[in-house]
Amino acid sequence: MKNKKILVYGLGKTGLSAIDALGDDNTLYVYDDDPSHFDLAEGLPVYDGEAIDFVIKSPSIPLDQGILPELEERGIPVLSDIEVAYRISECENFLAITGTNGKTTVTDLLYHLLIDGGKVAYVGGNIGIGILPIAKRAGKDDILVIECSSFQLETIDEFKPKVAILTNITEDHLDHHKSVDSYRESKKNIYKNQGEGDYLILNIDDPYLAMTGEELESPLVVSTTPIQQDGAYRDGDKLYLVLGGETIYLMDRDEMLLVGDHNVRNALEASLAAYIMGVDVESIRNTLMSYRGKDHRMEYVAAIGGVDAYNDSKGTNPDSTDVALASFSRPVRLLAGGYDKGSDFKELFKRHHEGIAGLYLFGETKSIMEEEAREEGVRNIHVFETMEEATEEALDDSEEGDILLLSPACASWDQFKSYEERGDRFKALILEKRS
């Protein structure tokens, strides 16, 4: 892509990676709703109504925010970084992963499966660094593994991954998408341009994706029960891949380090994609036997006086926290709360009120979560301003054999820059106490 006039809207990770990838060959303008960010743009001109070819926007900026409605009225395309990455890259192997929960684990595990299997692979998008510089560098036969958010997928046009994985779709980000249907359609954009020779992998344990799969022609399906078509599945304690009608034994469940049924699905999705891309089963098995997962996703931190502490700061919605709680049979002291995305927590508390030995709430959502938890029968509820205060009290209350779990069911942006910062702070608190 050369000699284009491009507006980079938003100067976070995505915007700065766009400047890095596109600045040498194109004329760039920048804009941000926070003028203090203009200094990050290294002297590039601030947009002031100039004629441009398209806008590349930061994913979290809603389409009805700032100057975007005016630009769209003028017929100027508004694109995401993954759309532009697809247009500028010579790489023919885009592997794209999305879903409400699990997408980061699947993305990271798939990348490790490919690297361990001897492939030249890169990872980016909604995970790690921006995708644009990577896409520009990748060769034709290399593999790009991209975690895609609903924000990135809502404005794609030509983006066409060779393998698309949908982990699940439940209610989330209604503050951005305004409706569940709009959110679902954004997620489903991941496969809208796929054709012959491409692969779509669906988790049919998810009710909505099971219905979606019935409407599509021959998707690959993943389930924790036996299946009757190509895909991957669990049968008792054994995991299998199925491709071209051939069933291939993968491994026994207890050989994996990852805990929880949700991680069985994650492993099956990533393994199937890796196998499609030519990684042999023995290599896949070896990686699954050593892979411990990403930080902040059901991450074991330490034991303090017989209490095991887990960091699940990536649990940024009720469904993710539901999965985390379901992974334990022991009493759980749950730390929850944060930025208000408009989520409903009633079903979460209804399902787990008996297993929650204590609920320690903090942040912007603390009051609504307290109200809904009481309605659903949760007892022993404590409310604090900060996560640090909640953690101190939860540790004091915990008894030998309890689980101390940070799984907030909310985004972090009310008190932290990211879920990573929140999780790191929690880990530091636990390790300070242990020492």
Torsion sign across C-alpha atoms 208, 210, 214, 217: positive
49 annotated to a ligand binding site? no
Q: Is 104 annotated as a binding residue?
A: yes
Could you tell me the two tokens for 209?
């994706």
Cα–Cα separations (whole angstroms), residue 122 to 96, 143, 231, 307, 310: 12, 6, 24, 38, 29
Name the DSSP letter for residue 431: H
Provide the residue type at 162 as one letter.
K
For 343, counting Cβ atoms within 10 Å of its Cβ (0-12 exposed, 13-18 middle, 19+ buried), the class is buried
Distance separating alpha carbons of residues 163 and 93, to the nearest angstrom: 8
Whether residue 142 contacts residue 93, with contact meaning beta carbons closer than 8 Å, is answered with yes
> What are the DSSP calls for 249-273, one per residue?
EEEEGGG----SHHHHHHHHHHHHH
Vertex 207: Cα angle to 205 and 211 (nearest 5)? 110
Query: How many distinct helices (H) and strands (E) make up the chain?
Result: 16, 19
Angle between helices 281-290 and 103-116 (to 10 degrees): 120
Q: Is 433 annotated as a binding residue?
A: no
Give the SS3 label for residue 246: strand
- In this structure, what token pair is assigned to residue 102? 């699990």
99 is in an annotated binding site: yes
User: Which two three-digit tokens encode residue 36?
Assistant: 């203090």
Tokens 């017929």 locate to 75
Strands 246-252 and 299-304: unpaired
Q: Measured between alpha carbons, how far is 386 from 369 in angstroms, rounded to an integer?
A: 15
27 is in an annotated binding site: no
Give the containing element (helix H, strand E) for 239: strand 238-243
SS3 sequence of 148-169: CCHHHHCCCCCCCCCEEEECCC
| CA distances (Å), origin 206, targets 6, 161, 174 | 39, 22, 19
Residues in binding site:
99-105
Residues in binding site for ATP:
99-105
